[in-house]
């Protein structure tokens, strides 16, 4: 009898089960990147949210609009609001589909918003969002985020979000001149004790070459490139690092993997030797005594001779030693310049305070509140040891006698 009763119930459960909140793909406006700005409208400060929405119909080869022009495979939509959340929700009123952020790859925050308000409001919104992934790359725009979306025409990929994601994943690690964290990594630095966060920097540049546009019949007049880094004091943007200064930052943070370092031999007036780095490792060693707090950075770098535009021979071990010393001095100076700049801004982007806290937790309790002032005058010792592993297929440089 019990079997007779339960069988119909099981059948009904199977019929009524399913994804109650499921949305079909043709009902979604899939966002590839999102951005936020602070703007003034008629004397009133407001927030602007931007969504970079894929248009699947145009991505599969493109379609032609009026006049025979190819339609862009994306839609840039922005809306204003009293709060960031209000502005983001207002975008939904512009779309006939559900705005879907699960495939977003990039978050771009405008310079004014990051400087005046800080990024804590944006991070709160991002971390609470049920669809947005923490692996989104985080950039700060030089200027407004909307300008980056509008002026940053992709040079190779179909969309800006795909291009920036590809550059960050494949190209930037080879150059070691810029730094781009994801939302999760940035949030960790923001909430950490003894560390200030760093984000990627995006800037619009005029296109130097005459290249055909991948999204239309007109040549792109500008492009967007990650350059250097954006540095913060707590949640507010306080300045920028150049490409060269960012390289020094990457050395300290163990994030400089490979890259070319042009160097100048002592008797030369211009760079004529390239050190091609293949590996680097840095140890941060804090020291706290009754009268002094200091940090020692021990850097070990390895690489090869990239180019030698000089008559200097590389056949003997002592010749290699000279180049190793030259590379060590350059790395040391790079790091010291970057540390000095961040000390002037009072922002510990290296996490030296975090290293002190980890090794000397009791001492940290007494200096935590004054760490910003301490960091500005902190003694930082840099020791670099460089090893050149190879000179390529030749040992002597190519020289041609003049006739």
pLDDT score of 283 more than 90: yes
Is the residue at 247 inside a domain? yes
- pLDDT band for position 398 (cuts 50, 70, 90): low
| Alpha-carbon span 310 to 273, nearest angstrom | 8
Q: What CA–CA distances, in Å, run from 60 to 56, 70, 73, 212?
A: 7, 12, 9, 18
Residues 237 and 264 in one domain: no
Q: Which pair of structure tokens corresponds to residue 391?
A: 């000179």
**Of the candidates 140, 150, 147, which has an alpha carbon nearest to the alpha carbon of residue 202?**
140
**Of the candidates 108, 131, 99, which has an alpha carbon nearest to the alpha carbon of residue 33?**
108
Residues 339 and 320 in one domain: yes
**Structural domain containing residue 118:** 25-60+68-241
Q: Which residues contact 351 (CB under 8 A, 6 or more apart)?
A: 189, 192, 194, 195, 253, 284
Count of domains forming the chain: 2
pLDDT score of 324 more than 70: yes
177 and 259 in contact (C-beta within 8 Å)? Answer: yes
Q: Which residues contact 63 (CB under 8 A, 6 or more apart)?
A: 57, 70, 71
Q: Which pair of structure tokens corresponds to residue 325?
A: 């010393």
Maximum average pLDDT range among 102-116, 147-161, 166-180, 386-400: 102-116
Question: What pLDDT was estimated at residue 217?
Answer: 46
Mean of pLDDT over the chain: 84
Residues 204 and 320 in one domain: no
Is the residue at 7 inside a domain? no
pLDDT score of 26 more than 80: no
- pLDDT band for position 318 (cuts 50, 70, 90): confident
Residues 294 and 164 in one domain: no
Q: Considering only residues 257 and 290, tell me which one the structure prediction assigns the higher pLDDT.
A: 290
Predicted TM-score (pTM) of this structure: 0.85
Which string of DSSP letters, residue by residue, matches 261-325? EEE--TT-SS--EEEEEEEEEEEEEEEE-SS-EEEEEEEEEEEEEEEE-SS---SSHHHHHHHHH
- pLDDT band for position 5 (cuts 50, 70, 90): low
- Give the range among 63-77, 186-200, 355-369 with minimum mean pLDDT: 63-77
pLDDT score of 215 more than 90: no
Q: Which pair of structure tokens corresponds to residue 29?
A: 């406006």
Question: What pLDDT was estimated at residue 55?
Answer: 80
Q: Considering only residues 324 and 311, tell me which one the structure prediction assigns the higher pLDDT.
A: 324
| Alpha-carbon span 347 to 355, nearest angstrom | 15
**Of the candidates 296, 309, 335, which has an alpha carbon nearest to the alpha carbon of residue 396?**
309
Residues 236 and 267 in one domain: no
Maximum average pLDDT range among 23-32, 62-71, 219-228: 219-228
Q: Which of 241, 276, 298 is the last residue of a domain?
A: 241
Residue 267 buriedness (CB in 10 A; 0-12 / 13-18 / 19+): exposed
Question: What pLDDT was estimated at residue 71?
Answer: 66
Residues 50 and 167 in one domain: yes
Question: What pLDDT was estimated at residue 223?
Answer: 82
Residues 99 and 230 in one domain: yes
Residues 160 and 184 in one domain: yes
- pLDDT band for position 211 (cuts 50, 70, 90): low
Q: Which of 241, 263, 295 is the last residue of a domain?
A: 241
| Alpha-carbon span 182 to 107, nearest angstrom | 9
Is the residue at 97 inside a domain? yes
The CATH number of whichever domain residue 303 belongs to comes to: 3.30.300.210
Is the residue at 297 inside a domain? yes
Q: What CA–CA distances, in Å, run from 287 to 352, 360, 364?
A: 11, 9, 12
Q: Considering only residues 215 and 295, tell me which one the structure prediction assigns the higher pLDDT.
A: 295
Residues 273 and 391 in one domain: yes
Q: Which of 218, 241, 264 is the last residue of a domain?
A: 241
* Three-state SS at 223: strand
- Give the range among 25-29, 111-115, 153-157, 272-276 with minimum mean pLDDT: 25-29
Average pLDDT score over residue span 59-73: 56
Alpha-carbon torsion (389, 391, 396, 402), positive or negative: negative
pLDDT score of 305 more than 60: yes
In what helix (H) or strand (E) does residue 73 lie, and over which residues does it extend? none
Residues 203 and 280 in one domain: no
Residues 119 and 220 in one domain: yes
| Alpha-carbon span 227 to 329, nearest angstrom | 24
- pLDDT band for position 393 (cuts 50, 70, 90): very low
Is the residue at 54 inside a domain? yes
- pLDDT band for position 399 (cuts 50, 70, 90): low
Question: What pLDDT was estimated at residue 202?
Answer: 95
Q: What CA–CA distances, in Å, run from 379 to 43, 45, 189, 350?
A: 46, 42, 23, 14
Q: Which residues contact 106 (CB under 8 A, 6 or more apart)?
A: 32, 33, 34, 52, 136, 137, 139, 160, 161, 164, 165
**Of the candidates 276, 283, 271, which has an alpha carbon nearest to the alpha carbon of residue 359?**
283
Residues 151 and 247 in one domain: no
Question: Strand pairing partners for 34?
Answer: 51, 107
Is the residue at 5 inside a domain? no
146 and 37 in contact (C-beta within 8 Å)? Answer: yes
Express each pLDDT in 103-128 by its tens digit.
899 999 999 999 999 999 999 999 99
212 and 156 in contact (C-beta within 8 Å)? Answer: no
pLDDT score of 130 more than 70: yes
């Amino acid at each position: 009898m019990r079997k007779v009763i339960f069988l119909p119930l099981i059948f009904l459960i199977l019929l009524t089960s399913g994804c109650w909140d499921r949305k079909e793909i043709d009902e979604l406006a899939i966002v590839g990147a999102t951005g936020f700005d602070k703007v003034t409208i008629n004397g009133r400060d407001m927030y602007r949210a931007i969504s970079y929405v894929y248009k699947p119909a145009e991505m599969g080869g493109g379609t032609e609009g009026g006049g025979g022009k190819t339609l862009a495979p994306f839609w840039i939509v922005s809306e204003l609001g009293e709060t960031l959340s209000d502005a983001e929700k207002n975008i939904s009123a512009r779309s006939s589909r559900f705005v879907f952020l699960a495939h977003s790859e990039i978050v771009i925050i405008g310079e004014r918003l990051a400087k005046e308000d800080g990024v804590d409001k944006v991070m709160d919104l991002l971390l609470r969002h049920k669809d947005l992934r923490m692996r989104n790359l985080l950039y700060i725009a030089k200027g407004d985020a909307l300008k980056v979306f509008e002026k940053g025409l992709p040079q190779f990929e179909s969309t800006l979000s795909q291009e920036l994601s590809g550059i960050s994943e494949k190209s930037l690690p080879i150059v070691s001149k810029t730094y781009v964290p994801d939302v999760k990594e940035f949030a960790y630095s923001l909430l950490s004790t003894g560390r200030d966060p760093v984000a990627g920097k995006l800037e619009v540049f005029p296109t130097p070459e005459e290249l055909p546009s991948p999204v239309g019949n007109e040549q792109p007049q500008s492009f967007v490139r990650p350059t250097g880094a954006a540095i913060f004091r707590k949640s507010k943007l306080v300045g920028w690092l150049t490409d060269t200064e960012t390289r020094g930052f990457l050395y300290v943070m163990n994030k400089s993997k490979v890259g070319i370092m042009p160097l100048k031999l002592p008797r030369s007036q211009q760079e004529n030797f390239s050190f091609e780095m293949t590996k680097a490792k840095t140890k941060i060693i804090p020291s706290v005594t009754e009268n002094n707090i200091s940090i020692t950075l021990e850097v070990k770098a390895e690489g090869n001779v990239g180019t030698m535009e000089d008559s200097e021979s590389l056949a003997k071990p002592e010749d290699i030693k000279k180049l190793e010393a030259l590379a060590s001095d350059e790395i040391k100076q790079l790091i010291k310049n970057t540390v000095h700049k961040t000390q002037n801004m009072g922002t510990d982007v290296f996490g030296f305070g975090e290293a002190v806290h980890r090794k000397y937790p009791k001492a940290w309790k007494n200096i935590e509140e004054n760490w910003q002032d301490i960091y500005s005058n902190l003694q930082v010792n840099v020791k670099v040891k460089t090893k050149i592993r190879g000179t390529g297929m030749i040992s002597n440089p190519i020289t041609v006698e003049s006739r």
